[in-house]
Amino acid sequence: MNLLADHATTSAVLATGAAGFLLSLSLIAAIGAQNLFVLRQGLLHQHVGRCVAFCATVDATLAALGVFGMAELVAGSPRFAQAMAIGGALFLLAYGILALRRAARGGTAVQVGVARTLAWPVVLAQLAALTLLNPHVYLDTVVLIGSVGAGQSGNLKWVYIAGASLASVCWFVSLGYGARWLKPLFARPTAWRVLDLVTGITMLALSAGLLLTLPGVA
């Protein structure tokens, strides 16, 4: 009986952890503002570890908050969602315009591999804005991941959070440090221009999408 109970417990732990891992990975593995920023830092070899640690920590924190009750609070707070949408849209608009300007100019220090190194607090401030001003981050981590995890019993909630957090760590480590394998491609200025063009278009599309979510906008 004890062996059966232990087997059932192990199976529940593995299944719960896997559920958190797969759901989290499916939500974060997409082209977005945060991922493009981390990819760019990886290509530039600038503050990659700090960027990876920041993203993974934020995801784990928001997932835990969602599992332990904030999911209902965020889902029921339209004013919070509206404020985040406006702030996020304005920031993404500005960032998108800057990316498109880089793409239009081409041949800058970044393209020829002599990129200007920003201080890490500046880089993390930009990453924090891209991350925390995006309402979709809260939808993915707090609401979606959190609501599923809230249905787990007892300590399995922590197992679920651990699985979701592990997915975030694996993704951002792969994105940030795996970018170096693309270095031969990005030795060409054209590749940087394409990346900046994709980034700019993505940021503007996300900005428009956020504005369209506001009440009365259709």
Please say whether the beta carbons of 214 and 85 come within 8 A.
Answer: yes
Give residue-wise pLDDT tens across range 174-192: 989 988 888 777 777 787 7
Please say whether the beta carbons of 213 and 92 come within 8 A.
Answer: no
- C-alpha separations of 51 from 56, 120, 210 in Å: 9, 9, 24
Q: Which of 176, 201, 178 is nearest to 102 (CA)?
A: 201
Q: pLDDT at position 111, please?
A: 46
What span, in angstroms and rounded, lies between the C-alpha atoms of 49 and 187? 22
**Residues 6 or more apart whose Cβ sits within 8 Å of residue 62:** 137, 138, 141, 142, 146
Give residue-wise pLDDT tens across range 5-58: 454 577 878 888 888 898 888 878 776 788 889 998 998 889 999 999 999 999
| Lowest pLDDT segment from 55-59, 75-79, 93-97, 98-102 | 75-79
Residue that wins the pLDDT comparison between 44 and 87: 44
Please say whether the beta carbons of 86 and 217 come within 8 A.
Answer: no
* pTM to 2 decimal places: 0.73
Average pLDDT over all residues of the chain: 80
Q: pLDDT at position 158, please?
A: 92
- Segment 151-178 mean pLDDT: 90
Phi, psi dihedrals of residue 148, rounded to the nearest 5° = -70, -45
